Chains A and B, each alone.
Chain A
C-alpha cells in the first residue's frame, strides 16, 4: 500500500474484517467486505453500517453565520428550523459546483456543513475565503468525529437499541442530540446517501470509542442481518437513488441546472455566489445539456466516461456514472445529453468497448424507497 494515505479511526477494524481497501480521494477506505452485492442488498432489505468518517465537517458560529451560509450555499437556509438539515451546494461564481453539502441548523448562530472527503481542503479554504466578510467563525471539525451511517429499513430498530433518543420522532433530514452507546450529546441525523431510510451519527474520533460503537452497532443489527458496507455498495446504492457524486454528476464544469438540482437552488432567496450566472442560464432558456437516467436495453454495462450516441451514431454526450444496479437488476447510468434528447423514452446508444449498445432515457430516480405503511 502506498504511504501517505489518510486513515479513519476504524482503519484497523476494516483490515481485521478483511475488507478490500482502496485509495479514495487520498483516504485508505474499504471498498467491500463480504461482497458488494450482498452489502447493497443488506441496505435495501435490512441494514448496513458504513464508516464515513472521511467526510468533512465545517461549523459556522456567530451572529453572521446565517448570512454567510446564505451567501455560500444555494439552498435557502433561512427556512431551516433548529434540528433540521437540508441538501445544498456551494457554487463558484459561474454557477458550477465547489461541492455539495448537507447544511444542519444547530441554532440561530450555529450551522454545520457536512462535505465530501475528496474536496475537504478545497472546501474549507473556499468557505474561509467566502465567509471572512461575515461576523462568524468558521472551524474545521472533520478530524474530531467518526461518522457512521446506519442505513436500511431496519436502521431505526438497530440504532434504537443503543440510544435514548426517540428515533421515530426524527423526520427525514432532521436530527437530534442524545446519548448513543453511552456517549452523551451525540448528533443523530436522519440522513444518508443510499436512497434508503437511515441515520448518521457523529461520535468522538478516538480509536477506542470508534471501535466500541462500531461493534455495538454490529451487535444491535445482528438479528437483522447487518453487514459492514464499503464504498462500492455506497456507490451503487446512491446511483440507484440518482444521488449526485462530486467529480461525476457535479463538478466545477457542470452547473446546477445541467445537474438537475434546481429544486435545491433558491434563486428567489436573494443574491449568493453563483446566482447571477444561473439567472443568465435561466434567461437564456435553460441549459444546453441535462443529466438523465439511462437504462441499457441490450446486453452490456455502461461505465463512467463511456460515450453516448444518438440513433445515427453521432456522439452526443457521456456517462457520468454507470454500473450494474444490484437491487434493480438492470444496467443503469447517469449521463449528460443535449436537452432535446433528455425526454424519458428517447432511445440512445452507449459505446461499450467500441460497440454501440442500445439504451433508453428513463425517469429519475431509478429507485425510490417504498412508502412506510
Chain B
C-alpha cells in the first residue's frame, strides 16, 4: 500500500496529516500488517493534551498490545468512535482509519518527522525484506 505524501510518519509507526492546524492521526499500513487482526482500540478523550513522543492510547491485535505515541504536541479535538465497535477498519485501510484529531500546538514540529519515502524505507528495513 502506498504511503500518502501529505502525511508525516513516526518511527513508532504513526502517521499524521500535514498542512493544517488540526491534524488526523492514525497508524501506518506497516503497523497494522505487523500487528495482525486488530480487535481493540483504546482512544484518548476529547480535550486531552497529548505530548510528542508520549503514549496517547493503544491498539491490540489478537496477539499483542501496541502503544500509540503522539507525533506532535496538541489537544485532542475528536476521536474516531467507530473504531470501538469496528477496530478492523484499521486493518482494512490504515491510512483512512484515523484514530484522533489534534489541534497542533506548533505545526512546524512535523518537519522533524519522516516523509512518505523515508518512512517506507524505514519500514522495509525493519522487516528485513
Contacts and interface: CB of A to CB of B under 8 A. Distances in A.
Nearest to A15: B129
Given A323-B62, A324-B62, A37 B37 contact: yes
Given A232-B63, A303-B65, A353-B65, A32 B36 contact: yes
B62 A37 contact: yes
Contacts of B61: 36
Interface in B56-72: 58, 60-63, 65
Contacts of A236: 62
Given A1-B128, A301-B40, A232 B62 contact: yes
Contacts of B58: 353
Interface string A102-114: 0000000000000
Q: Interface residues of B toward A: which range?
A: 10 to 19
A301 B63 contact: no
Nearest to A22: B63
A108 to B, nearest CB: 44
Classify the secondary structure of B's interface with A: strand
A324 B65 contact: no
B124 to A, nearest CB: 15
A349 interface: no
B65 A36 contact: no
B128 A36 contact: no
Interface string A27-42: 0000110011100000
A20 interface: yes
Interface string A198-231: 0000000000000000000000000000000000
B27 interface: no
B110 to A, nearest CB: 28
A20 B36 CA distance: 10
A36 B60 contact: no
Interface of A: 1, 20, 31-32, 35-37, 232, 236, 299-301, 303, 323-324, 326, 353
10 contacts: A36-B37, A36-B61, A300-B40, A301-B40, A303-B65, A323-B62, A323-B63, A324-B40, A324-B60, A326-B37
Given A36-B61, A37-B62, 19 more contacts: A35-B37, A36-B37, A36-B63, A37-B39, A232-B63, A299-B40, A300-B40, A301-B39, A301-B40, A301-B60, A303-B65, A323-B63, A324-B39, A324-B40, A324-B60, A324-B62, A326-B37, A353-B58, A353-B65
